[in-house]
């Protein structure tokens, strides 16, 4: 159903495909409300997950591959199948008892906490969000709410790995533009193609933003290699459910 990261202290989870009731391409723990899965299955998947994690209230966002991190409070608590009135790719809060959720299927999820000052964040970073440095915006948003960057612990969850994420020159150029040249290497077999390390690029950005290297944990799991356990956008050609990354104080 989910894995956790050893460096986070608050309730958190990186969910996987297992332990739900959805069928077909959504088998089984699909948490996407608007991907074509049956509503009653999605509701049951949420019920099982939230029972396991003891979550009652949660916030989501309409993800648009932006660099926007939005502060949420209990007034933003989401009801399943109701509209989400804002777009963002990161959520930050000081609110206890409000779970933050982001959804991925190859993109990089990042969960952050400053347990001393009581601030948490959840981030969705595909390549566009990564090169827009949404991870930096998340750290800055946490600091503006009272966190200290040197206290922040960050966990990068399962996402597509270096060896599986073939990209074009536009991604290579964008990574170069933010000083992450060494997170991209040419594909020796395909002219004009490259491989990009999005997890590593986000690690670089977090460190540059003041997060201590020893406070960052990166999941070694590649969602494309482990398509049996995780949804991979690339492996399924987009016919898929989504996993969630969740954190709550």
In the complex, the residues that contact Zn ion under the rule CB under 5 A are 161, 164, 222, 224-225
At its nearest, how many Å lie between Zn ion and the CB of residue 225?
Answer: 3
Cβ-count burial of 30 within 10 angstroms (0-12 exposed, 13-18 middle, 19+ buried)?
Answer: buried
Beta strands in 36-169 (DSSP E): 57-59, 69-71, 90-93, 98-104, 108-114, 119-125, 153-156, 166-167
Beta carbon of residue 158, minimum distance to Zn ion (angstroms, whole number): 10
Shortest reach from residue 124's CB to Zn ion, in Å: 19
Which CB atom, from 3 or from 149, has the smaller least distance to Zn ion? 3
Q: Cis omega before residue 28 (within 30°)?
A: yes
Burial readout 215-243 (b: 16 or more C-beta within 10 A, e: otherwise): bbbbbebbbbeebeebbbbbbeeeebbbb
Closer to Zn ion by CB, 163 or 182: give it.
Answer: 163
Query: Min. distance of Cβ 206 from Zn ion in angstroms?
Result: 22
* Residue 4 Cβ vs Zn ion, minimum distance, rounded to whole Å: 21
CB of 195 to Zn ion, least distance (A): 10
Q: Which is nearer to Zn ion, 232 or 245 (CB)?
A: 232
Whichever of 158 and 161 has its CB closer to Zn ion, that residue is 161
Cβ-contact 11, 247 below 8 angstroms: yes
Q: Taking CA 240 as the corner, what is the angle to CA 80 and CA 160, rounded to the nearest 5 degrees?
A: 110
Find the DSSP H helices in 65-209. 127-131, 134-144, 169-177, 198-208
Cβ closest to Zn ion, residue 124 vs residue 224? 224
Residue 212 φ/ψ, nearest 5 degrees: -70, 135
- Based on CB atoms, which residue is closest to Zn ion, 123 or 222? 222
CB 9 within 8 A of CB 115: yes
- Can you tell me which residue has the tokens 């509701």? 43
């Amino acid at each position: 159903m989910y894995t956790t990261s050893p460096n986070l202290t608050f309730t958190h989870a990186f969910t996987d495909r297992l332990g739900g009731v959805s069928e077909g391409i959504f088998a089984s723990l699909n948490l996407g409300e608007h991907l074509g899965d049956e509503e009653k299955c999605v509701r049951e998947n949420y019920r099982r997950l939230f029972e396991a994690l003891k979550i009652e209230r949660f916030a989501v966002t309409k993800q648009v591959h932006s660099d926007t991190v939005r502060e949420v409070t209990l007034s933003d608590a989401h009801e399943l199948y109701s509209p989400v009135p804002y777009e963002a790719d990161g959520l930050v809060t000081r609110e206890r008892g409000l779970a933050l959720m982001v959804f991925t299927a190859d993109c990089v999820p990042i969960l952050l906490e400053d347990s001393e000052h009581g601030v948490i964040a959840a981030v969705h970073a595909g390549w566009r969000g990564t090169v827009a440095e949404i991870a930096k915006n998340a750290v800055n948003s946490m600091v503006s709410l009272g966190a200290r960057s040197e206290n922040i612990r960050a966990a990068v969850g399962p996402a597509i790995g270096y060896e599986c994420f073939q990209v074009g020159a536009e991604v290579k150029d964008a990574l170069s533009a933010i000083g992450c040249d060494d997170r991209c290497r040419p594909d020796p077999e395909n002219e004009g193609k490259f491989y990009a390390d999005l997890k590593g690029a986000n690690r670089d950005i977090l460190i540059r933003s003041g997060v201590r290297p020893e406070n960052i944990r990166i999941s070694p799991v590649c969602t494309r290699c482990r398509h049996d356990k995780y949804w991979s956008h690339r492996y399924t050609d987009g016919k898929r459910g989504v996993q969630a990354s969740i954190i709550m104080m």
